[in-house]
């Protein structure tokens, strides 16, 4: 049961309790009625306080919020992993994946965000119910704020600033504003349109990148109309990528390319300013990372090396799992700066180093070497394996993931999935597999170099370095992951990643 504390300021000296609670504390009329119904709902100095009682400057009031256990009714529980961006006694902020409905409807029974949050709260023994402040469309991903009580929901309503990332079918440059009313042409349908009579709607945008066909935009809506961003861009003839409802010509995604990437608001109880970011769930989050975590050994008291540590998220996890020392290596100064700012702990040391230079590190210094999606950038894989073997102590383990040789073998970026007569992928073209060597591709920027080697090459290099291979995994998506990103169904046709765990035998 949540108890809130307030100190009466001078401007409410001599005022009635009701006036302070409604205007000074921001208590809603509905919550005020619930507090009045509880003899100990509002107290001063431990004694019940009536709404007509007069207050004095410095009075300490306590509000005991109603226990809402069971108030949300019987709700099916969905054991779906949630990415929690922030949580305390008053709020839960999660990163909703695309494809997950907010609430149960006749089309979504037991498989909505409300069900996943209900399961999460039950596991924590919380009496809170699912109460979102604002909403996102089913196909939109990103930050969602859930208030754990009515007071928090009322205080935050209309006071959350949102920033989205969107991909629109068209060329945008600079920045601009779309100021156009939004109406509902057919009251029986969800579809919206720009037109009169409609509600005022204002959307600000800033172009971040374009390839001449698609533009990546940062979008800040001033109002919160249903489908506002989607309707505004569609009205200009540039619907969002994947937005079938608004006639997008680009259907490479099964949902609109819209992500609530950032939210800013003032905490309803503490008054603290919060600025939270939500990364869009991707293949790594849904496929590669869960499989890698399942292969992690016990790290308590161990010395760990992370090759290609990026922003340091895994380094932090290793330290939190009890590692004695974690060294994170990366070539990118930008990523290392972010790692030091966001994922710094006393046990972690970040260094700028190429994995080709691992032979400069002290031999036998580590119990565990980890690398996520890095080794396909190594030009000389046998040397890399030998260097890591030298760094490990007897009994130490190597765990790495890389792009699967089936994906690194191609010499071009064309779609290699073959489709049946209904346009559904049912086969994969394997080309140039035996032609080892350098490849160029695109990973955020053009002409990124990686190296193709066969599955046999990888196994042989590890064996010749002295490793005993314990596990080889080609991860398959879970049903929940496919529901979040339907494109993951293609992983049953060909694997995207190869994971290997090997040990340096004693």
Give the H/E segment covering residue 122. helix 113-123
Rounded Cα–Cα distance for residues 257 and 142 (Å): 11
Task: Clarify whether 137 is annotated catalytic.
Answer: yes
Rounded Cα–Cα distance for residues 18 and 3 (Å): 18
CA nearest neighbour of 244 among 133, 360, 138, 142: 138
| Helix/strand/coil percent split, the chain, to 5 | 25, 30, 45
Give the H/E segment covering residue 472. strand 468-473
Give the H/E segment covering residue 43. strand 42-44
Write the CB contacts of 421 (distance below 8 Å, at least 6 apart in sequence).
none
Burial class of residue 140, CB neighbours in 10 A (0-12, 13-18, 19+): buried
Q: Is the Cα dihedral 473, 477, 479, 484 positive or negative?
A: positive
Q: Which two tokens stand for residue 98?
A: 């695309």
Write the CB contacts of 161 (distance below 8 Å, at least 6 apart in sequence).
220, 263, 264, 265
Cis peptide, bond prior to residue 361, ω within 30 of zero: no
For the chain, the straight-line distance linking the first and the last C-alpha, in angstroms and rounded, comes to 55
Which one from 59, 90, 111, 137 is the annotated catalytic residue?
137
Determine contact, residues 499/401, Cβ cutoff 8 Å. yes
**Chain-centre distance of CA 47, in angstroms?**
45
Write the CB contacts of 429 (distance below 8 Å, at least 6 apart in sequence).
416, 417, 418
Determine contact, residues 276/85, Cβ cutoff 8 Å. yes
* Residues involved in catalysis: 137
């Amino acid at each position: 049961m949540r108890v809130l504390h307030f100190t009466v300021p001078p401007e409410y000296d001599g005022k009635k309790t009701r006036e302070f609670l409604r205007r000074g504390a921001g208590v809603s009329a509905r919550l005020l009625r619930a507090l009045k119904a509880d003899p100990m709902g509002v107290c001063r100095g431990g004694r019940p306080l009536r709404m007509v009682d007069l207050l004095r400057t410095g009075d300490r009031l306590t509000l005991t919020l109603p226990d809402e256990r069971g108030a949300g009714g019987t709700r099916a529980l969905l054991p779906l992993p949630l990415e929690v961006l922030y949580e305390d006694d008053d709020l839960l902020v999660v990163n909703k994946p695309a494809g997950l409905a907010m609430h149960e409807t006749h089309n979504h029974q037991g498989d909505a965000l409300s069900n996943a949050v209900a399961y999460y709260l039950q596991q924590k023994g919380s009496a809170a119910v699912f109460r979102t402040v604002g909403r996102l469309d089913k196909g939109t991903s990103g930050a969602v704020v859930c208030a754990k009580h009515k007071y928090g929901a009322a205080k935050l309503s209309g006071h959350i600033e949102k920033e989205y990332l969107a991909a629109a079918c068209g060329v945008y440059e600079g920045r601009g504003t779309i100021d156009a009313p939004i109406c509902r042409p057919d009251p029986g349908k969800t579809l919206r349109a720009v037109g009169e009579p409609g509600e005022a709607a204002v959307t600000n945008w800033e172009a971040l990148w374009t390839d001449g066909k698609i533009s990546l935009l940062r979008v800040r809506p001033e109002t919160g109309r249903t489908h506002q961003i989607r309707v505004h861009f569609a009205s200009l003839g540039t619907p969002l990528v994947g937005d079938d409802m608004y006639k997008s010509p680009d259907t490479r995604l099964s949902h609109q390319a819209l992500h609530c990437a950032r939210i800013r608001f003032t905490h309803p109880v503490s008054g603290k300013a919060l600025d939270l970011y939500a990364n869009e769930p991707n293949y790594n989050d849904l496929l590669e990372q869960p499989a890698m975590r399942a292969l992690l050994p016990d790290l308590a008291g161990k010395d760990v090396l992370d090759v290609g540590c990026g922003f340091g998220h895994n380094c932090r996890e290793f330290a939190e799992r009890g590692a004695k020392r974690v060294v994170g290596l990366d070539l990118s100064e930008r990523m290392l700066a972010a790692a030091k700012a966001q994922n710094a702990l006393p046990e972690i040391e970040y260094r700028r180093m190429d994995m080709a230079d691992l032979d400069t590190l002290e031999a036998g210094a580590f119990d565990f070497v980890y690398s996520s999606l890095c080794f396909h950038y190594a030009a000389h894989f046998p040397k890399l394996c030998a260097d890591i073997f030298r760094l490990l102590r007897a009994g130490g383990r190597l765990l790495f993931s890389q792009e699967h040789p089936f994906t690194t073998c191609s010499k071009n970026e064309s779609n290699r999935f073959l489709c049946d007569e209904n346009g559904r992928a049912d086969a994969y073209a394997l080309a140039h597999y035996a032609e080892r060597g350098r490849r160029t591709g695109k990973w955020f920027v053009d002409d990124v170099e990686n190296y193709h080697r066969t599955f046999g090459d990888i196994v042989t290099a590890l064996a010749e370095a002295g490793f005993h291979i314990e596990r080889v995994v080609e991860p398959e998506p879970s049903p929940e992951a496919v529901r979040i990103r339907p494109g993951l169904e293609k992983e049953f046709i060909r694997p995207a990643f190869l994971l290997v765990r090997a040990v340096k035998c004693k």
